[in-house]
Every structure is written in C-alpha cells, then in structure tokens.
Structure 1
Amino acid sequence: MTYFILIRRWLLCSIFLLPMLSAPSLAAVNGEITFFSNRVDLVTNGSYARWVKEFQIQYPQARVQVQGITDYEVAMPKRFEARNYGDVMLVPRDMPKQTYPKYFLPLNGLQLQDKIYFADNWEYQGKHYAYTQGVIAEGLVYNKRVFKAAGLDKPPATLDELFTIAATLKATGKVPIALNLGAAWPLQQWDKAVMGAAGDGNYFANMVNDAQPFRAGKPYYQSLKIAHDLFTKGYSEEDFILNNWELSKHDFIANKTAMLFLGNWVIPQLMESGMRSEDIGFIPFPFDNSGKPRAILNFDWGMAVSRYSKHPDTAKAWIEFIITKSNFADIAGFIPTDKSRRSPMAQLTQYMSYQPEIIQAAPESNDFIRLANKAGMDFMSGGYIRNILLSPDFEGSMAYWNKRWRQAKENF
C-alpha cells in the first residue's frame, strides 16, 4: 500500500471534527499507551526506556510502550488503514490536512503554541493536530580526519569547490559522499535542498502555480542535478541496491567516507558509535557558486494523538513531556522544539559561524501535497529521486516529471 493510494482513500473519507481537549491533569494521566517512533536507535540504546521511567515518576498511573518502526514511511500507512497506529504516532508528511480530524485529536489544550517552534505546521481550521519532535539544521557533515589526510584544509564554500574536493577525495580512495540510494529515504535531502536553491522556505506552496518546475534553471532541476552529478561521476557509494544506511555511518566513522548531506541529528549517532566530536564538521550545504551560505532550518516529524486512543490525556502528556521536560532533543540531535531551551551541540556553533541566510521551512500546502501525490512523487521518501539518479538520461527524467506535474495540474 503506497502513500499515494492511501491518500486517495483519506480524501474520500468523511471528516469528523472533535472538541479541543484541555491540558491533562495528574489524575487523568493513567493507563497504558503505545508510541510508534521512527527512532529505532533510541529504542535500541535504552534512551526511550529512560524517558519512560522519568515520565512514570511524574505520572505513576501511566505506562508507555515505545515501538521502533524501521522504514516508517512504508510501514505506517498500513497501520493507519487498519486503525492500528497506536496512541501517539508521527504524522505522514504527505497526509492532507483536511484528513487530520479523522485520525488525530487537537493539541491546543496543551497551550504550547507560543512556546515552541513550527507550532502551526499541522494546524487545520484553527486546531493544532501535531507538534514537531525536533528542529533540524540541514547541512554538510564532513569527516575532518579524512579531509586532513587528503590535504584539504577547509570544507567547500561553493558548489564548484564541492566537486573539486570530491574529485580529490576519490583520488585518495575514499568515498566522497554517501547518498544512500539503497535506503532511499535519505534522498529526501534533495527535496529539502530545493528550498536552499530557491532561497525560499515556502517554495513548495508557490510551486503549485508552475507548470514546469523541473525545467533547467528551476530550483528542483538545480537540486536534482547536483545529486545526479555526484552519483554519475562516481563520488558516492558503489552499492546502490542494498539498504546500507547503518553501514554508511560506520564507513564515515572508519574514515572510508568523507561527507554526508543530512540534518544535524546524525551527529550524535556518529558520536555514540565512537567518533570524537572534534573530528566532525558541519556547515551549510553550498547550493551554488555565490559563496553566500544558506541554512535550511527544518522541522522533523510531528507527534500526534490518535482520535481512537483510550487514554488521550496520557498520550497528550507524553508529547508535552518529550518536548518540554525530557532531553530527547539533545540525545536525538535536534535543536529543541521548546524555544526556551538551547542545544549543546558544538557543530551547530560552527554551522552558525558562517552567518548564513536562514531559510525556515514552511509546511507544505494541501494543494502541493495533493498535486505531488497525483503526479506520483513520493515526496520526502526518496523513491522517485533514486529513479532519477539511476537514469542515464537526466534531461529526459526532468522532461518526464514536468509532464507528470503538468498532467496532475490539468486534472487537479
């Protein structure tokens, strides 16, 4: 079952509006809830077990079961269809907002709107149905040891420098950058890079008015061309079939791979696996040759409460706890959602030292999500991008996606 098919079913379902729930009281927080998380690593390393214990100290009558879901984007649509998506879950990126009331409860009663970043991202008709579990700085993570061994004394400041450095690294026998074609989902970075190329965090909302968004010179073309050139020039991993996500991190730590284009959340994962913080660099990705850095500040998955939960107050209290009371953001590698908190990550200091132009990602509009689904783009999932990178005819691929987008608009 793909998101595309499921979205069509979502849109055919009737919408049920529910009253806003007030902030949970201590007595109301009881019973057992299940949270489906995409962070399998934090389940495996015991972090979630610790947060559950801390939560239960505050709410002794409550119990939380955390289940880590691998390939969240693929696995969860089936659970939504079967109403087996737990009490707290993450909202699919391509779910139309008008379907939120069918699946989730409003969170306005938590009164977090003015205290957190991206509070309005999952808002529909004045009600907030989810809050992000963390804020992400998108950028280029690089291995300082590999750079030094290759005689490189600084990271790339322009796109041309990126490719020159990649050629130098390849000549030393290193993998310049891990794209993770086999895993596919990390290729969502090239969807995000469109905002950097455009210099516009609200680009996707405006894209619905463009009949040819993949034409040469357009932000999508620019972003995908960078990824395609990195792949076709042999600057990425050789294996593009198997899901080597975990291996890509291991190879980075083992000085076999030099760069990763990801969010700052990956840095704690590298450190937890044994890499020293001082060996990890992090800079804004050089989208062009202007030399003017642009920093994309993005939102991670939004946490929501199921409208079918038997213990909604407990589910809401869990979301509030994760955002405002736990150190989830620090351990997970996020900038805290709570505006009053600060990240201790040293690499963010380096990142901001470039004084980049801040591009704050806006939530995708309903029209964009519907058009992307109708065109067959698995937006922010990476599958269609992998097909583009594997195609020997990049220009033909761009023409194909322009056609798909135009047809979707004509039938919108």
Structure 2
Amino acid sequence: MDISDTRWHTKTKASPATSFRSNTATNQNNTNTQVSVSSLAVRLKEAQQAIDSARLNQQSFLQNNNVLTWQSQSNQEEINSAKWEFEQLSKPQLETIAMDPSNTFSKAEKAAAYEKWHALDQRALSELKRNALNDDNAMTSFEAALYTHSQTFSELGKAMLPDDYLSQAQSHFESALQDMNLSAHTMSNQAEHYYSLMVTDLYAGNEPKVHNGAEGMSSHNLERSNYDFLTHKDRFMLADMYEYAEKSGIDFEYIQKLASDIGNYRRHDDGKLLSNFNEGHFNTEGQKLTVGFTQRDQASIDRLMNNGALSSSALDAGFVSFITDPGLGALSHQGSYQFLAHIAEVTAGIATSDSATQFKTFTEASSINERYVMTQSEESISLPEPDVTCKNGVCEVTEKGRKNGVTLTQNTQVLAPPIEFKPAQFNTLLHLQTDPNTQKSVWFEWLLEK
C-alpha cells in the first residue's frame, strides 16, 4: 500500500526483521560475512592499505556504480547480517569497505557498507531539511546548507555519490515544499478525520477531559480507563499514528495497547507513583524476585536505544525510559516492544528494521514466558508480618503496623508495584519500602486477585 503521503513516511527502504539479531547467532549462521571486532579492525586496515596503494599508483576512484551488481549477486540475508556487523562504524570506515579495491571484503559486505553510508547521509539531509523549514526562505537556506554539506565529503565519499547528487537533493526538497503547500488546504480536514478516528477507537466517540495523573490512583479515579489520563499531546500523536496505521494496514490494537501503556504511565504521575519491582519485592518464601524482558523484547529495546531514533522521535522520552526499564515495564506493559521500536523509527524518519506488514494482526502473548522472565534468588530471608496490607489499590495499616507507629494519611503516596495484570506465579507480594517521614523500613503486603 502506498503511504507516501503520510506524515511519518520514511523514504529509506525498510530492512527485513532478520537484519537485527545477536552477534552470536549471525556469527554461527553467516561465517562468510560475520567476523569478530578484532578481525574487522584487521580487515579495515588491509582495505585501507589497498586504497593507499591505489592512490600511490595514481588510480582514480571512479563513481561507484557496482552496488546494484553486488546486491544482485549477494544473498539479502548476508547483506543484512553485514549491516548489523557494521552498525557502529563511522562513515570513513564504511567508505573504506565500500570502496575497497582488493578482495578483503565480500560483495555483500561492500553492498552493506554502501547502504549504511547512504542511510547515514540521508539522516544528515533530513536534518538539513528540518532546519531549512524554519527559515523564511526555506529553499535558499537548504541550498546553502546542502553545498556546505557536500564540501565535507572525502575523496572516497564523493566517489560513492551519483553525479546529480546536489540537483537531486534540491529537486526532492523543492517537491516536498510544493507538496506541503498543496496539502496545507486539506491537512486540517485530514487531521480532524484521524483525530476523530482516534476518539472513536479509544473513547467510543466520547472524548473525556485530561485527568490529573497525580491523582490517578485516588479512589474516585480507580475505575477510570488509562486512556483518560492521556495528555493532549499524547492524543494528537496517537491521531497521527492512526493515520499511519490505516494507510499501512496495521492492526489498530497495536495502537490501543501502546495508548494504554502511555496512559498507565500518565495516571501514575508519569511513573512517579510506581515502585521499581526489582528494588525489594519478595515471594512468600522470602526469596527476592527479579523481573526481566524476554530475549525478543530485549533485542527490540536494545535496537531502540542504540539506533539514534529516540532523539528525533515523537514518542515521549520519559515514557520510553519508563517502559524499557525491566523493573517498571516488563510486568506492566500491554503493548508490543517491536511496534514501539517501529514507531520510534518511523516518527524519526529513519529506516525501519521491521516492515509494517509485520503488524497486520495483533498477537497476544500465549504464555507468561512470552511476556517476561521472572527469577528468584537462591537465598531467602525471614519475612516479618507486614505493617500494611493493600488490595485493589486500597491500603490499610495492620495491628503490627500501628504498634510500630506506621500511619497512612489520605495524601500518603504508596508506591505500588508496576503490575497491570494478574501474575500466574504468585498471589501475594511483599514489598520493603522506606517511610519518608521516619526513614524506617515498612513492609507492605500486596494481595493480588486472580
């Protein structure tokens, strides 16, 4: 489906999901293209020596027209694996690989380096365009910035560019300006349509006011939906997400789940009312519990944190930090970390690691093992009788707690464990917290209904 007219359309080609995997797996399956870091450094040095030798022999570096041949003669999985290996390389290092005149690097590796180099350059061009749009004369500003940018290319970098690089970039920006002017008349109606679609899907057509997250767990707010705590900025972002999803064939349930996660973060005062599960929770046997992400989710989170998308993404950085902390997000999340990473990449305008087709149908986790990993310590402690018991968000001081001088006033903020579902492994959690007034340890017992 053509989504070129969406706000979040990225012009760089999406790589298959298989392009991101652990180094161990790719080293085992693609020994021809995957190498260790030390081996890569040696090969880079050899390729650079070959380039230096070519310079001494006054060999010119003609425009690189071989990339299509390399791509056609290479297995796509080999190219993707090589791109993963080159993830942290700089543009000069990628140039060395792509323009290697020897056989130090394979055709697949050269194609991968070429694609990675151009992806980095496209990111730089996108930044130039964004800055130019802030100028009264955007076209003149962009042309000046583009010329300055072109002067930074090395000899090898220039050899990797098409002859019409400057004119092509200028033409694309000029077309984009024209499209913006043409769409300005219809943008208002289109934006209203997708905002209305968001309201219909999340609120059954009846949008509530934004409720105060600092009071999200008060008694009169307990029955409210997480959606009710979404800010106006959240709602406009989600409306844009519905536009992208509709034109990309994405199941709206991915957005519903992500909206619920954001709303849960908001209703707990941007996460301030939730304690980190990994900081003092015990089972009834006195063993400390630690929760982590599944291997698949951790891989998506690692990619999200390392690919540079967050700095330009529409997603709230505080929410992303919250939901990607295992002690806060592993138990509470409802949405897909793969979709979260995809949206971060799309809104940042960079190449997406997963195709939108992967999200055509939302699939619920079939077991606890697909949601999170729970471990317990080998050592156990002797658990005392709790000072406070909590059920359904309502906490009461026990007789022992009263003897210890523990009090809960109406304004007391009780940091609840970040659980938004009924865990299968336990009915009761014991949580050690510190009373901010007395600095004494207080044991809370959380009774979890099934």
Whether these two folds match at TM > 0.5 is: no
TM-score of the superposed pair, with normalisation by structure 1? 0.23
Larger Rg: 2
Structure ranking higher in helix proportion? 2
TM-score of the superposed pair, with normalisation by structure 2? 0.22
Structure ranking higher in strand proportion? 1
